[in-house]
């Protein structure tokens, strides 16, 4: 199974076949509207605007598994993101990213890239605090919090996994290199 073999649901409940993204560089992000990392939407939109014409796509998967930080409906999340952060990239249906009801795409992504590198004392301290709050991360490969990012290359391979403390701007060099 590859990235392109998955079908996910859009925020309107329609099937979205990821094979439509074949040949593009894709950033998959689990998000939340009420998270301390929510302002990263601004950086994600900046990346999207800068690189979408070169074959870059972002897929936003809202997730309410981490301290009830995305309790809204899919329509309310869409409205929040487009009004507050002016996001234009595709938003999928709210999903779970860990556990028995996790979205199969995230099962695949975690299997391909089970952990992320953590650089810097501040990031390590933040992630240590998050680990104490997260009651859904049961294994090392589980997603620890919202705004975990997976970068997919043009061949559908997971090129990187980034923890929530990694600001979107810091991915610019890797995205540009894959494009």
C-alpha separations of 120 from 43, 76, 127 in Å? 20, 35, 11
With contact defined as beta carbons under 8 Å apart, do 3 and 19 qualify? no
* DSSP code for 89: S
Rg (CA), the chain: 15
d(CA 177, CA 87): 24
- Tokens linked to 158: 């997971």
d(CA 40, CA 154): 24
- Whether 63 is catalytic: no
Catalytic residue among 35, 70, 151, 158: 35
Catalytic residue IDs: 35
């Amino acid at each position: 199974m590859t990235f392109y073999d998955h079908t996910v649901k859009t925020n309107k409940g329609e099937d979205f076949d990821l094979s439509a993204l074949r040949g593009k560089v894709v950033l998959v992000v689990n998000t939340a509207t009420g998270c301390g990392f929510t302002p990263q939407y601004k950086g994600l939109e900046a990346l999207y605007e800068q690189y979408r014409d070169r074959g870059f796509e972002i897929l936003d998967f809202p997730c309410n598994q981490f301290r009830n930080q995305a309790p809204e409906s899919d329509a309310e999340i869409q409205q929040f993101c487009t009004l507050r952060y002016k996001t234009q990239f595709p938003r999928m249906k709210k999903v779970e990213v860990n556990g028995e009801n996790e979205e199969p795409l995230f099962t695949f992504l975690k299997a391909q890239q089970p952990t992320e590198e953590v650089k810097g004392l501040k990031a390590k301290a933040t992630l240590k605090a998050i680990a104490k709050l997260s009651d859904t991360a049961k294994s090392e490969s589980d997603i620890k919090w919202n705004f975990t990012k997976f970068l997919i290359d043009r061949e559908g391979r997971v090129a990187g996994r980034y923890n929530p403390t990694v600001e979107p701007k810091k991915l610019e060099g890797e995205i540009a290199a894959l494009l």
